[in-house]
Amino acid sequence: MATILVLEPSNDSDLHLLLNLAQRLGVKATALPAAKLSLEERERRFMALFGSWQSDESGDEINQMLQDSRQSNRPDITL
């Protein structure tokens, strides 16, 4: 039987504090987005999860580097 405890922190800092405490206590914790957040705010928070970097290479050059660095453990099969 599971017990559900709903906490509604007023800011992200408090949310992270509660999640860290739950982790330290070995409690399974799941953060769900508040239903009252606007679509724009949910999109802003989602986009904030991604990083970026500056590079002298073009997108095509980076793509080629990624393609060239791929390795496969599958043996070559001749049909």
Domain count, the chain: 1
pLDDT of residue 33: 65
Domain membership flag for residue 75: no
State pLDDT tens for residues 34-67.
Answer: 667 788 887 888 888 888 778 899 989 999 999 9
Domain membership flag for residue 36: yes
pTM: 0.36
pLDDT of residue 35: 64
- HEC assignment per residue over 59-76: HHHHHHHHHHHCCCCCCC
Domain coverage including residue 64: 12-69
Domain membership flag for residue 79: no
Give the pLDDT band of residue 70 (cuts 50, 70, 90).
confident
Domain membership flag for residue 52: yes
Domain membership flag for residue 78: no
Domain membership flag for residue 4: no
Domain membership flag for residue 46: yes
State pLDDT tens for residues 2-41.
Answer: 677 777 788 888 888 888 888 898 888 877 766 677 888 8
